[in-house]
Amino acid sequence: MSAGTDPATLLLVGGVRAVSLGLDMAELALDQAHERGLRTHLTNQEAVLAATEAVTGRAGAVSAVDFAVPGESAAWALRQVADGTRFDAVLALQEMAQVAAADTAEALALPGNPPEAVRRVRTKDACREALAAAGFRQPAVRLCVDATEAAAFLAASTGPWIVKPRDAMGSTGVSRITGPDGLADAVALLPGTGPFLVEEFVEGAEYSVEGLFLDGAPVVLAVTEKEKVEPPFFVEVGHILPAELPDARRTEIERTVAAALDVLGLRRGAFHVELWLGPDGIVLGEVHNRYGGDWIHRMLGHVIPGFQVYGLIYDDLLGLPRERADLTPVRAAAARYLTPPPGTVVAVDGWEEAAAHPDVLRAELAVGPGGTVRPLRTSGDRAGVIVVGADTPDQARKLARELADSVRFTVESA
């Protein structure tokens, strides 16, 4: 913060993707910044800025900077500072801009995560190696350049196996195989032609841990239970927050995740850590230096009344005084995705009634009459979502299911 009454300036590197979830995150982040009297400056790729006017119209200033070009965001920020602009905090909302934000914060000597730590968690095999070296349970994994290397890993390890991109999101290109016969099809599903990962499949219920860093230490806000489609794909179709777990198990999860984040070197912003509860205990999955997708940020805001998911991060980055609030969930929320069979949608019945339910926090229909439902292989193939709030996790789960089931799709098979 500068002397006098000049407001601090928040630099949001990488803006958001032009999808409803991203737009909502950015609008909420900007609103909570402005509530604190902060100036805001948002950067993103030029084409995305043009496609996200609802966000750019909220920001105090907007600049076209390509976060995907290594070093470009940091160099741009240094030029701005040399010309007299002041930045006081740097943050990225979306996954793909985390490295650019860390590089920029370091270049400006502002609080942020070490760039090498962010690169480590963004590179899935490097993150696995770091956690395994520190003694955390991890599935065996190999970075492969082609199907021949992948087949060699299969021969030397225990299946089933997961084939997935080294750097992607939304379950894109992720599939399970039970032997070499399925390898060619799994590789064909991968986006791009670069190196990919093959890792041993982990049995067990899946969860994620949501939280943020305050004063350099992780604060767990909630554990989320996941529901996924059956293999060979792993698209998430439901979330319940907070998960119903015994106190001892929840404490074990929180301590394990906190220790892992410390080993990985993350210190600022939000986190979303995936894990399995298997026969041998906790197995850590992917680590993200951001809030989870699938409307988890809105669910957190509901289950912890008065909690500002981004505002508290700004306070931490700027060193602003804050009251020690209780961040324990006192309510529950659930999300349920609509997954009709693939084909052309002829009609959708019951949507308006379901979306108008008083306990709905968010409802979005992605495919209407005349649209095409694709086979369910990635998050983008889901046909809609209903997010609800309730007093307990069980009530939230049941209501989300009931409302989702009340929406009836008439589909003409492809």
Residue 107 has pLDDT above 70, yes or no: yes
> Is the same domain home to 212 and 315?
yes
Same domain? 27 vs 61: yes
Confidence bin at 161 (pLDDT 50/70/90): very high
Q: What is the mean pLDDT of the chain?
A: 94
Last residue of a domain, one of 330, 345, 367: 330
Higher-pLDDT residue of 392, 231: 392
Query: Band of the pLDDT at 279, cuts 50, 70, 90?
Result: confident
Does residue 180 sit in the same domain as residue 66? no
Residues 91, 16 share a domain: yes
For residue 3, pLDDT over 60 is answered with: no
Averaged pLDDT for residues 336-347: 97
Is the pLDDT at 172 greater than 90? The verdict is no
154 and 228 fall within a common domain: no
In a domain, 212, yes or no: yes
Q: Is residue 124 part of a domain?
A: no
Task: Please report whether residue 132 resides in a domain.
Answer: no
Distance CA(385)–CA(337), nearest Å, equals: 4
Residue 1 has pLDDT above 60, yes or no: no
Final residue belonging to a domain, choices 90, 110, 130: 110
Question: Domain total for the chain?
Answer: 4
Residues 254 and 238 in one domain: yes
pLDDT level of residue 194 (50, 70, 90 thresholds): confident
Q: Which of 40, 93, 32, 100 is nearest to 66 (CA)?
A: 100
* Count of positions (residues) in the chain: 414
Q: Are 222 and 322 within one domain? A: yes
pLDDT at 365 over 70: yes
pLDDT at 167: 78
CATH of residue 342's domain is 3.30.470.20
Q: Can you state the angle between helices 124-133 and 247-264, rounded to 10 degrees?
A: 110
Tell me, what's the pLDDT at 230? 82
Give the pLDDT band (50/70/90) at residue 169: low
Q: What is the pLDDT of residues 215-234, one digit of tens each?
A: 999 999 999 999 998 877 88
Query: Are 321 and 344 in the same domain?
Result: no
Is residue 249 in some structural domain? yes
CA distance 166 to 177: 17
- Write down which residue in 330, 363, 385 finishes a domain: 330
- Does residue 116 belong to any structural domain of this protein? no
Cβ contacts of 89 within 8 Å, gap of 6 or more: 8, 9, 10, 11, 38, 110, 111, 314, 317, 318
Find the domain containing 376 and state its range. Answer: 333-412
CATH number of the structural domain spanning residue 169: 3.30.1490.20
Residue 47: give its domain's CATH number. 3.40.50.20
Asked if residue 301 and residue 249 are part of one domain, the reply reads yes
90 and 195 housed in the same domain? no
The pLDDT confidence band at residue 166, using thresholds 50, 70 and 90, is confident
**How crowded is the C-beta side of 255, counted as CA atoms within 13 Å?**
6
pLDDT the model gives residue 144:
94
Q: If you average pLDDT over residues 319-347, what whole number do you get?
A: 93
The pLDDT tens digits of the residues spanning 176-193 come to 999 999 999 999 989 888
pLDDT given at position 233:
80
Average pLDDT score over residue span 51-57: 94
At 234 the pLDDT is 80
Closest-CA residue to 276 (of 336, 329, 223, 232) = 223
Domain check: are 218 and 325 in the same one? yes
